[in-house]
């Protein structure tokens, strides 16, 4: 009988110790998530930056018409993609859903042969009237890696920009603009400085 009591007491002690360790780990993980902020879209120091105006000359759409990025009825997301880029194919449906939910106008852009782009548009569920196929736009914005995204105001001013490969990156473009900082990284740095000053 005494052996059973001893074993029960030992098991109770082990269980309490395990609960204590679990609680301490939970506290540490919560602290870690507070300390480590999500990484935003990777920004590029080359080319036009947030606050600069987007080129206003008309650019050729895949359906043959011309379009200017200078004025629109809503905030616009300009997303550079390519048929040969697997990340581009992954981000397209995410961008479509994101822009629909956030009420942002979505335009795609690229630079390839018309036949290649038309096939790409069909396969990826885009439309020719929402796809700028003009090398001049990529040169003007100095796009050198894909998929690159530019968030534009209704007046055609660049609000934020960066390389994107996830929904979180797309959201970071909006967060950077809404917070008043040019990039999410700037916002994180500012927040850390405020915390340090308060401590």
Looking at the structure, do residues 29 and 63 belong to the same domain, yes or no? no
DSSP secondary structure string for all residues of 109-132: EE-S-HHHHHHHHHHHT--GGGEE
Determine the pLDDT at residue 137: 93
Same domain, 3 and 84: no
Mean pLDDT for 59-64 is: 92
Q: Measured between alpha carbons, how far is 121 from 190 in angstroms, rounded to an integer?
A: 40
Closest to 181 measured CA to CA, from 154, 159, 158, 148: 159
Is omega for the bond preceding 147 within 30 degrees of 0, making it cis? Answer: yes
In tens, the pLDDT along 164-174 reads 988 888 988 88
pTM over 0.85: no
The count of structural domains within the chain is: 2
Q: What is the pLDDT of residues 26-38, one digit of tens each?
A: 877 776 555 444 4
Query: pLDDT tens digit string along 125-184?
Result: 999 999 999 999 999 999 988 999 999 999 999 998 989 988 888 988 888 777 776 666
In a domain, 40, yes or no: no
Whether 110 contacts 133, CB under 8 Å: yes
Angle of the 184-198 helix axis to the 167-179 helix axis, nearest 10: 60
Q: Has residue 39 been placed in a domain?
A: no
What residue numbers bound the domain in which 15 lies?
1-33
**24 and 114 together in one domain:** no
Per-residue pLDDT tens over the stretch 72-127: 888 999 999 999 999 999 999 999 999 999 999 999 999 999 999 999 999 999 99
């Amino acid at each position: 009988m005494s052996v059973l009591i001893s074993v029960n007491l030992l098991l109770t002690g082990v269980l309490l110790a395990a609960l204590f360790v679990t609680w301490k780990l939970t506290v540490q993980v919560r602290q870690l998530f507070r300390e480590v902020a999500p990484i935003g879209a990777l920004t590029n120091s080359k080319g036009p930056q947030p606050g600069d105006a987007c080129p206003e000359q008309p650019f050729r759409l895949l359906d043959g018409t011309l379009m200017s990025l200078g004025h629109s009825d809503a905030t616009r997301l300009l997303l550079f993609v390519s048929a040969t880029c697997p990340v581009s194919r992954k981000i397209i449906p995410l961008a479509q859903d994101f822009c629909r939910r956030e009420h942002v106008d979505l335009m795609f852009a690229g630079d390839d042969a018309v036949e290649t782009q038309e096939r790409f548009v069909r396969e990826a569920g885009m439309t020719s009237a929402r796809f700028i196929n003009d090398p001049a736009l990529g040169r003007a914005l100095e796009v050198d890696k894909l998929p690159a995204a530019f968030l534009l105001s209704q007046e055609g001013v660049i609000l934020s920009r960066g390389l994107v490969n996830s929904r979180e990156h797309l959201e970071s473009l909006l967060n950077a603009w809404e917070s008043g900082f040019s990039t999410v990284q700037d916002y994180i740095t500012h927040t850390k400085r405020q915390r340090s000053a308060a401590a």
